[in-house]
Amino acid sequence: MVSTKGAAISLFSGAGGLDLGAEQAGFHVRAAVEHNRDAAVTMEKNFPGLASPVIQRDILDTSTDEILEAAGLRNGERPALLLGGPPCTPFSKSGFWLEWKRSGLDPDASLLQEYTRVLREARPHAFVLENVYALTYNNKASRPALVRLLTEIDEAGYSFTIGILHAANYGVPQARPRLFIVGAPKGEPTPTLPEPTHGGKWERRAVGNAAKPFVTAAEALDGLVCDPEPEETLRGQYAPLLAGIPPGGNYLHYTAERGHPDPLFEWRSRYWSFLLKLDPHKPSPTIQAQPGPNVGPFHWENRRLRVAEIKRLFTFPDEFELVGTRASKQAQLGNSVPPLLARQVFEHVKKFLPESTV
């Protein structure tokens, strides 16, 4: 019989960035729920320890009993860990100018309640929930959703710690702030979040641990050999402009305020990632799941990033195999949690659990 010690169940698994971090920390992802076909197959290719195939179904139609059974947990056995990142579209900073997003009308917002439903019914010894940091914004979409989420965690019988972790502060070569909530049953030690291992300047502020500098994009991509991709060439009316932008710059290079002799754009008239180029001496800016045709970050060699490069900037292993089209692979990576950040969160949470569970 396979041991269920350290068993983890994963919701909204995506490509498995959070799951990979859990595995690296010594947990064993035994069951996963992921609606997207490409991401589900990606999970199955890279997580041979799954007790059953990925449950490729809407979480709304998937019972907790079915998830526990898929993990090989029976007769009231509890998982050591519940992990997951419900889709973030209702609260993502990207596109927040849309009134329906600001008003909290996106149906995906209810998926937070599916997480707390499984938390309440599965009764894991610990949980880790990840989401966009915009969920903490004090507006009419995010604030009520966060209050409801924390109330449901409390009513499920769990104490918790909540915080925003900046991926670059943990050795990830990407500036990617994410919300983490970690917890355990009331009456047991409450997990906390790990302290930063790296530091530097982010948005003109010093953050993290200054004793160890951020990992840069050049350091992350050093030694990587990968074939060119047909989609990497930027096309369209703005394509010729990319070569003139210095590393780390964006469309603002072509504004009067930056001293351009023939300004093409008004100051702050575009989103910040428009024609954004990587600076090899800094971490990558946040890499989006579904960037527009002129949305970066682009490589300092004036092209789109290749999939192998994006994997490096997210700290996925080079051998990690993604399934689907080029756009699908970008979406899977752009929606994922950097495994290196996830591993440090899970290693820290593990310290608070009884040895008998892990």
88 catalytically annotated:
yes
d(CA 227, CA 39): 23
Q: Spell out a b/e string for 46-81, using b for 16 or more CB atoms within 10 Å of the CB, else e.
A: bbeebbeebbbeebeebebeebbebbbbeeeebbbb
Q: 131 phi and psi, to 5 degrees?
A: -160, 180
One DSSP character per residue, 46-70 reads H-TT-SS--B-S-GGG--HHHHHHH
DSSP 8-state code for residue 200: E
Q: Which of 90, 92, 116, 93 is nearest to 103 (CA)?
A: 90
- What is the pairing mode between strands 205-208 and 127-132? unpaired
d(CA 147, CA 162): 12
Contact 14, 34 (CB under 8 A): yes
d(CA 231, CA 291): 13
> Which tokens belong to 47?
């997580």
CB neighbours of 90 closer than 8 A, spacing ≥ 6?
101, 104, 106, 108, 109, 141, 145
CA distances from 283 to 172, 238, 347 (A): 8, 25, 24
Amino acid identity at 357: T
d(CA 81, CA 62): 18
Contact 86, 27 (CB under 8 A): no
In what helix (H) or strand (E) does residue 39 lie, and over which residues does it extend? helix 37-46
Catalytic residue among 25, 32, 71, 88: 88
**Would you name the residues annotated as active-site residues?**
88
